[in-house]
Amino acid sequence: MNSDDMSLENRILDLHGKRILVTGASSGIGEDIARLLHELGAEPILVGRNPERLGALASELGGCQSLALDITDEAQVSQALGELPALDGLVNCAGISILDAALDIKADDFKRILQTNVVASAMIAREVGRNMVANQRRGAIVNVSSQAASAALQDHLGYCASKGAMDAMTRVLCLELGQHGIRVNSVNPTVTLTPMAEMAWSDPQKSEPMLARIPLQRFATPRDIALPVAFLLSEAAAMISGACLPIDGGYTAA
């Protein structure tokens, strides 16, 4: 394929030959990220909870490797990721949200959110970072955080706390992995219209107050998130590390 046949995205965000682990790849934003990375020439390694959906996506993407894992099981993660070939990057996209008012929050719910969104993401970053350092691979890690890291959201105490922790984790990983040529950034989306979110936000009484706080007056699409993630993984972002990039239509600036 010559340059005239390639889309602008493919020319700028060239990821050919890059092996990139994507968590949360069996649904939502993670699934769209995996598809885009494949379009851009990367070899995504898919991690998720649903083996059937992972297998279907892996087949769609030409038979790439998939790993059905409980990412909160440290031993399982260490064993599975310790057996992988040399990696060039990671997208930490797996996450959960449990909605509770601050006066009703349950300790078990809070712990579950933190275990998935923070602890598991840190353990996966540890394993991928070890792999990259051992194989002398310069590359990038992108953590999928949220506007909830920097803005208070009703009934999202545990989720906001977890995403604030993820941004702090991003900065520490940037500091410690930079000496190995590994860049670490996060992206911080607003409401993103995955199929599940489209149902959740279909009620105008719920969606209109949120849309009123977004200067661009729309929610994000999964592609809106996947493209900046690909940029941060690419050499186009070679001098960007430690950034927490809002993808929120101006929500946190307003």
Residues classed as catalytic: 159, 163
Residues near 220 by beta carbon (within 8 Å), at least 6 away in sequence: 189, 190, 191, 192, 193, 247, 248, 249
3-state helix, strand, coil in the chain (%, to 5): 50, 15, 35
Q: Which two tokens stand for residue 157?
A: 């105490």
Which residues, other chains included, contact 218 with Cβ-Cβ below 8 Å and sequence gap of 6+?
A: 211, 249
Q: Write the DSSP assignment of 43-95 as a string of letters.
A: EEEEEES-HHHHHHHHHHTTS--EEE--TT-HHHHHHHHHT-----EEEE---
